[in-house]
Chain A
Amino acid sequence: MKKTVSTPISRRLVLGAAVTAAGLALSGCGGGGSAPAAGGGNVELNFVYWGDATRAKMTDAAIKIFEEKNPGITVKSEYQDSGPYADKLATRFAGGNPPDVLNMANRSLLEYAQRGTLADLRSLQELDLADIPDTIQSRGEVDGKLYGLATGVTTIGMVVNKAITDQAGVIIPDDKTWSWEDYAKFATEVTQKTGGKVYGAGYDVATETGPILFARQRGEDFYTKDNKLGVSEETIREWFQYSVDLRAAGGYPPAGFFEQIGGSAAQSYLAKGTVASQIIPINNYKAYNEAAGGNVVLLRMPGETTEERRGYSADPSMLWSIAAKSKHPREAAKLLNFLINDADGAAETLTQRGVPINPEVADAIKPKLGKDDIAFVDMVAAIQEDDLAPAYVYPKGASVVADTLKQLATEVEFGRVTPADAARTFLEKSNAAINK
């Protein structure tokens, strides 16, 4: 034992450690990227997309066919969940090391395109756009140039677990003519007849695809042709109010019920059997039906015949883009051409990313589809039988709009703000983000 007491930590030391620890926060910003090594003779393409393991397996099978058909090109693909994918993509572009071929979200297209980071797809000879309908191409156009091509076409729909409604003795209304009121009545009845064990409605209030359709039914474009916000305060208020009323009636779960953020079909509340219906992008119908026990029916959204006009639109599930800085634009264009025009490749990926945008490819794969995917394809065709109002590219700032909607939906859910106040705030914040 020492005679004098020596404290092991001095004042200077604490200061030094403090400076180090604080300084580290700053190094999080800024950054660098490493240049990819060029392979001799053989071109390696970097191909990135978001999705789950099922999607990756199907995509890998298609990529293998591409590599066989294109000797000299190898494809290095990477996939992630959509959230982390978006973050990583941004960093890679910032670091000057973007992937060659990539998945682009509808809501991010303008952000990337207007900053000159994407290649104009019409300038690439290897890409054949002859069979791609103009209506589809328009959803990837920014300032007259083509920066994104739909991976496939989808839309949203209502899925109902018929096993639950049959057992409860609730009849599902005719979805060709049902109104929002009918849906509310139906949902409330399910909750009542299951003794509160199952909530009739479990749709997501906070995802923008719902209010986009709702606004269209009310004669408004959520996002307009000139890339502005077109939805009215009144419509957003109604959208929030509808969920508040449905919750009060018992058809919708109480505040705080939904905990799962994002998540796959298997993790959904529909699969757990605690809600009887949900709104989904209908290219995922097969996954939901399998996860929820195989007795899920795919329905149209309510209000299509009872509101001012039809709300449906056939939308890109997501987009393919090529980086402007790609070192191998020709090979990248070949890969993209394969993804949209090659029936052999599509025979592996089927309708995972929506109905193929080349009608010939869509027809070619039809015999290979299972009954759930056929139901999906048929519904996409059926909603387009009438003329639908045109839909437009998402504006710059659309990701802030999506975040704002999510935040306000929670505020409304817990009764911290009224639907009217939330609608006003939504318009203020969204307009500020879009007009910036």
Chain B
Amino acid sequence: MSVLTKQAPGAAATLAAPGGKPGGTRPKRKNQRSGYLFLLPWFVGMLFTIIPFFASLYLAFTDYNLFTEPNFVGLTNFQALFEDPRLLQSLKVTFIYTFVSVPISLAVALLIAIVLNRGLQGLAIYRSVYYLPSLLGGSVAIVMLWRYIFGNDGIVNGALGQLGIQGPAWVTDPEFALSTLIVLNVWTFGSPMVIFLAGLRQVPTMYYEAASIDGASRWRQFRSITLPLISPIIFFNLIMQLIGSFQTFTQGYVMSGGTGGPADSTLFYNLYLYQKGFTEFEMGYASAMAWLLLMIIAIFTAINFIASKFWVFYDN
């Protein structure tokens, strides 16, 4: 997934180059052709997304159970969605996770990016060190490691013990399990950080020079120059993090061994969807769930786009 999303910016940039004139000049048309050529792998990959995409739309209106032919059942699955207490629980878990971890991880990412942007010695090393967790954060090994760090005999409770505090059961207590995963997610701030860093580089230094001459404080410079100029990047990161977070699966699956436990406290929406589809064999219902999630994500993205008119600054 990250491969596709990362290709998208490049893709749009290439397409944008020929501009509004369809029958451009020769070199432009040539550019266009090579642009599409470079995009080819993405189009091929897209086929593998589009076919299941429409298959799941159809299945959402059936009683498909993986084994026998699906029968059309109309809106039954969608009606059942609203009477399912575990679905509500999974929405609750996913919303809490998203609305707590996304703002925190964006703030941390921006903060670290600003620090790194001040021209540190060995920037490349720091950048890699901070970026590494986001490459690893979704991996099974790291979630397993997290289980040990936050385990009853792990280093977190070990450190608390040194201070004379009896730490809770971070992983197995329903009151704490989700917060442990939120900490894990915040820790993987690396990929928005790298994007912030790239954005900060684009801000011309002359603005800061001019502002310093006018006597603006650092905080003032940050608020009046940095923030507006990188606001499209904040917006981009916000949207991507939001979507990624709504779709969290691996962390919940590995941490709870696939159950969403303890006591459904880490039952992420996608984990529940997976359980419905592959352990309870209700693939029709699972497909309906997938479409509900798409709608939820679409609504939140739309809200953000509308709200962005008031705070995102586009120069062009």
User: Given A24-B49, A30-B52, A83-B258 in contact, is the A17-B281 Cβ separation under 8 Å?
Assistant: no
With A7-B314, A11-B232, A26-B53 in contact, do A259 and B279 touch (Cβ < 8 Å)? Answer: no
Task: Judge if A328 is at the interface, Cβ distance under 8 Å.
Answer: no
Residue among A256, A257, A411 having the largest count of chain B Cβ atoms under 10 Å: A256
B162 within 8 A of A: no
Which residues on the A side are within 8 Å of B263 (C-beta)?
A: 407-408, 410-411, 414, 416
**Among the interface residues A13, A93, A115, A116, which one has the most CB atoms of the partner chain B within 10 A?**
A13
Of B8, B13, B281, the contact of A20 (CB 8 Å cutoff): B8
Contact of B52 among A10, A31, A407 (CB under 8 A): A31
B257-297 interface bits toward A, Cβ cutoff 8 Å, 1 = contact, 0 = none:
11101111000001001110111110100110011011001
Determine whether the beta carbon of A10 is less than 8 Å from that of B279.
Answer: no
Contact A29 B66, CB 8 Å, known A7-B315, A410-B263:
no
Q: Is A37 an interface residue (CB 8 A)?
A: no
Within 8 A of B (CB), among A405-419: 406-408, 410-411, 414, 416
Q: How far is the CA of A11 from the CA of B281 in the complex (A)?
A: 40
Contacts A22-B297, A29-B283, A90-B66 given; does A259 touch B172 at CB 8 Å: yes
User: A42 at the A/B interface (Cβ < 8 Å)?
Assistant: no
Chain B residues within an 8 Å CB radius of A407: 259, 261, 263-264
Q: Please report the C-alpha to C-alpha distance between residue A262 and residue B258 in the assembled complex, in whole angstroms.
A: 11
Knowing A1-B206, A259-B147, A410-B261, the reply to whether A17 touches B315 (Cβ < 8 A) is no
Q: How large is the interface on A (under 10, 10 to 19, 20 to 34, 35 or more residues)?
A: 35 or more
Task: Using known A-B contacts A18-B240, A259-B171, A407-B264, determine if residue A25 contacts B281 with beta carbons closer than 8 Å.
Answer: no
What's the least CB distance linking B39 to chain A, in Å?
Answer: 12
A14–B283 Cα distance when bound, in Å, is: 31
- A16 contacts B12, CB within 8 Å? yes
Please give, as numbers and ranges, the residues of chain A lying within 8 Å of B5 by CB-CB distance: 17, 20-21
Write the nearest CB–CB distance from A216 to chain B, whole angstroms.
Answer: 26
* A115 with B262: CB separation less than 8 A: no
Shortest CB distance B285–A (Å): 10
Complexed CA–CA distance, A33 and B297 (Å): 30
Q: Which of the 9-residue segments B90-98, B111-119, B130-138, B196-204 touches chain A?
A: B196-204
Query: Chain A, 393-405, contact with B by CB distance < 8 Å: what is the 0/1 string?
Result: 0000001100100
The digit string for B11-44, where 1 denotes a CB below 8 A from any CB of A, is: 1110010000000000000000000000000000
CB within 8 Å of B: which of A1-55?
1-2, 4-18, 20-31
Min CB distance, B150 to chain A, in Å? 10
How far apart sit A336 and B62, CA to CA, in the bound complex (Å)?
Answer: 36
Listed residue (B57, B202, B229, B264) with the most chain A CB atoms within 10 angstroms of its CB: B202
Our count of residue pairs bridging A and B at CB distance below 8 angstroms stands at 208
Residues in B whose Cβ lies below 8 Å from that of A18 = 239-240, 243, 297, 301
**9 nearest CB pairs, A to B:** A256-B169, A30-B55, A261-B257, A94-B66, A115-B67, A30-B52, A27-B52, A29-B56, A410-B263
Return 23 A-B CB contacts under 8 Å, by A number: A7-B233, A9-B236, A10-B16, A18-B239, A18-B240, A18-B243, A18-B297, A20-B4, A22-B297, A27-B49, A29-B286, A30-B59, A30-B287, A87-B278, A93-B67, A115-B65, A255-B172, A255-B173, A256-B168, A259-B169, A261-B257, A262-B257, A414-B173
Q: Which residues of B contact A (CB under 8 A)?
A: 1, 4-5, 8-9, 11-13, 16, 48-53, 55-57, 59, 65-68, 147, 151-152, 168-169, 171-175, 198-199, 202-206, 229, 232-233, 235-236, 239-240, 243-244, 247, 256-259, 261-264, 270, 273-275, 277-281, 283, 286-287, 290-291, 293-294, 297-298, 301, 305, 308, 312, 314-316
- Residues in chain A within 8 A of chain B (CB atoms): 1-2, 4-18, 20-31, 83, 86-87, 90-91, 93-94, 111-112, 115-117, 255-259, 261-262, 399-400, 403, 406-408, 410-411, 414, 416
